[in-house]
Structure 1
Amino acid sequence: MMRKTNLFAVLTAVVALTFTACTNIEDVAMPEQKVLDFSVFANKNTRAAETGSTLKTDGKAFGVWGYSTFETVDTDVFLNQEVKYNGTTSAWEYSPLKYWDTRSSYEFYAYYPYKASGVTIDDNKNITVTDFTVEPLVANHVDLMLADKVTRLANAPVNQVTFNFNHLLSNINLSFKKDVGIAETKVTLKTVKIYGMSKKGTFVQSQVPEWAISDTDLVGASDSNLENLANDNVLDVATTVTFNDMLFIPQNTNSVKVDVTYNLGESGAEQPFTRTLDLSYDASDRTYNPAAWGQNQKITYNFIISANAIEFGDPTVEDWTTTIPDVEVPSIN
């Protein structure tokens, strides 16, 4: 690819509607140069772990590819450039700084979170994320996102370049409460474990984006100790205990299950119960379950714990029956 000699405008990125560009004293704006600022946010039409506000956390970073065209000359501006949020300065920073020429047109592509390897872009500007792996602990789950392409025409008015990120994973949530029929019974949720889904896959962007998942790397297939989501949660009728924002690779639910253990009764007199709940779809039995988890889709499974107490009815007493003749014993002398 031919290289152009023009300078490119300083690029800074922020997650806000108002912000300050980050420059240093050596940067000099030439007559045909303008400061280029980035703004990023997560698609507000979906609810997930990351939003425009949560992205503004120290150390979080996204990757950027950027290309410019001047007349017939194309130039690489950014090649998987890390742009990281600095909590001290409240700014998105990267190095080295770049400049742009207002006479050039631009295209920008971005993804989150940044990775030094394993994420590539092809000649058609489609991004591939190879062997993305879901972490074992839900607290460490990552909201993998891809931004819409941003373009700027040559000589166009300079304004913010806003990255609109969309979620590539499925947001799975579990919700538990007890049935009104056992309102007076104490229900303690002891353990909740979800397993049977693929934890590794490769995302390929195209006209129809798709995931190629591993059929062997399953959560729970070799894990000797699955994460217990519950922690002795006491259930109520009016409120729910929820386990939110579990971010998994989009896939079918053929093997997905949830193990639940809970106690009924007051402390010292609890009775334990264990249940395995099948989250797969079945046309004759479990039509309420989705057959697959979709990309950029939030799914909440609602569970209600019910019980039938062991009760005793009024006893009955059978009449006496004589089944043998009276016994004549010898006289007692």
Structure 2
Amino acid sequence: MKKVLLFSAAILALSSCSNTDVLEEGNIQQTNAIGFQTLVNKESRALTNASFGKFWVYGTYHKSGQAANKVIVFDGVNVLKGNTEQGASTGWGYSGTRYWVDGATYNFYAYSCDNEPLTTYGRANLDETSKALNIAEFICDETHQHDLVFAKSTDIQGKATGNEAVKFSFKHILSKLNVTFVNEYPADYELTISNVRVSNVRNKGKFLGESGEWNKSDVVRYPEINSTPVVSLALKNAT
């Protein structure tokens, strides 16, 4: 009988989740003021229906034939669950009401890092050319291991009346990697493994909101470590 030892390491893996489920429906708001409504991947370990309460939104619009002249209407505005200001009927609100422009085309982007804005461990900003949200220099290390979710809703046409709330389908753009150690010693052997470290993991990168992918040239190991283990473990069926 094999004795299996498990060790879970919360390591940044630059991958995406594709399944989404309704987080909070709310009532679809039809008004000339811009409001928001959310969906989120239900597989989140940290963001649940009860705990997900804040996200930061970015948005622009341009008029017909003026795609190169985008007007910024949201630049990192904090949207709160249960806010009694604009958007409260959908369950989400923000300060400083913005209104739809009839005939304009809108693009919206949003993120949340465990209900916190990106400051020390990354930067969120609009791309100078596309005006899409980019998340630059995001770092995941032993002091910062949090769920990072992202959503976008683009090519929405503003109307004079009857505008619906902007629907954000939040998805995880990071996944945690679990590492399992397996040995084939007899069942009555007791094995102790200590001071396990996984090094040279790619854990710093830049996410491009326009393409919805991590920029491969900006994905690096942070910090660069040349690690020489004291004891080498032979991992069965592992690369």
Per the TM superposition, whether the score is higher than 0.5 is: yes
In the alignment, what sits opposite 1:269? none
In the alignment, what sits opposite 1:143? 147
CA contact 2:149–2:171 (8 Å) conserved in 1: yes
Shift in Å at residue 110 of structure 1?
1.8
Q: Deviations over 1:155-178 (max 9, x none)?
A: 385333221233332420134677
Tell me the TM-score normalised to structure 1 length.
0.46
In the alignment, what sits opposite 2:166? 161
In the alignment, what sits opposite 2:131? 125
Q: 1:191 to 1:38 in 2, by over 3 A?
A: same
Q: Of 52, 58, 63, which aligns to 1:56?
A: 52
Q: 1:197 to 1:88 in 2, by over 3 A?
A: farther
CA contact 2:25–2:38 (8 Å) conserved in 1: no
Q: Look up the equivalent residue of 2:110 and give its one-letter code.
A: A
* RCO comparison, higher one (Cα < 8 Å, 6+): 2
Task: Say whether 1:41 aligns with 2:39.
Answer: yes
CA contact 2:109–2:132 (8 Å) conserved in 1: no
% of aligned pairs identical? Answer: 21
Q: Look up the equivalent residue of 2:205 and give its one-letter code.
A: G
Secondary structure in structure 1 of the residue aligned to 2:198: strand
Inter-partner Cα distance in structure 1 for 2:234 and 2:200: 10
In the alignment, what sits opposite 1:194? 198
Q: Look up the equivalent residue of 1:64 and give its one-letter code.
A: V
In the alignment, what sits opposite 2:118? 115
Shift in Å at residue 145 of structure 1?
3.0
Shift in Å at residue 78 of structure 1?
0.8
Q: Look up the equivalent residue of 2:140 and give its one-letter code.
A: V
In the alignment, what sits opposite 2:24? 16
- Mark the runs of 5 or more structure 1 residues left unpaired by the alignment: 1-13, 22-31, 222-254, 260-273, 280-285, 290-333
Q: 1:185 to 1:136 in 2, by over 3 A?
A: same
Q: Which has the larger radius of gyration?
A: 1
Shift in Å at residue 108 of structure 1?
1.1
CA contact 2:205–2:215 (8 Å) conserved in 1: no
Q: Look up the equivalent residue of 1:53 and give its one-letter code.
A: N
CA contact 1:41–1:52 (8 Å) conserved in 2: no
Tell me the TM-score normalised to structure 2 length.
0.60
Inter-partner Cα distance in structure 2 for 1:118 and 1:199: 15
Alignment size in residue pairs: 202
Q: Deviations over 1:243-295 (max 9, x none)?
A: xxxxxxxxxxxx899x8xxxxxxxxxxxxxx954478xxxxxx8743xxxxxx
Q: Look up the equivalent residue of 1:95 and give its one-letter code.
A: S
Q: 1:34 to 1:49 in 2, by over 3 A?
A: same
CA contact 2:37–2:168 (8 Å) conserved in 1: yes
Inter-partner Cα distance in structure 2 for 1:52 and 1:189: 34
Inter-partner Cα distance in structure 1 for 2:81 and 2:123: 21
Q: 1:18 to 1:195 in 2, by over 3 A?
A: same
In the alignment, what sits opposite 1:295? none
In the alignment, what sits opposite 1:7? none
- Mark the runs of 5 or more structure 2 residues left unpaired by the alignment: 1-21
Inter-partner Cα distance in structure 2 for 1:135 and 1:87: 33
Q: CA RMSD in A?
A: 4.3
Inter-partner Cα distance in structure 2 for 1:54 and 1:163: 17
Q: How does 1:302-321 map to 2 (within 5 A)?
A: none
Shift in Å at residue 125 of structure 1?
3.2
Q: How does 1:21-36 map to 2 (within 5 A)?
A: 33-36=31-34
Secondary structure in structure 2 of the residue aligned to 1:149: strand
Shift in Å at residue 16 of structure 1?
0.5
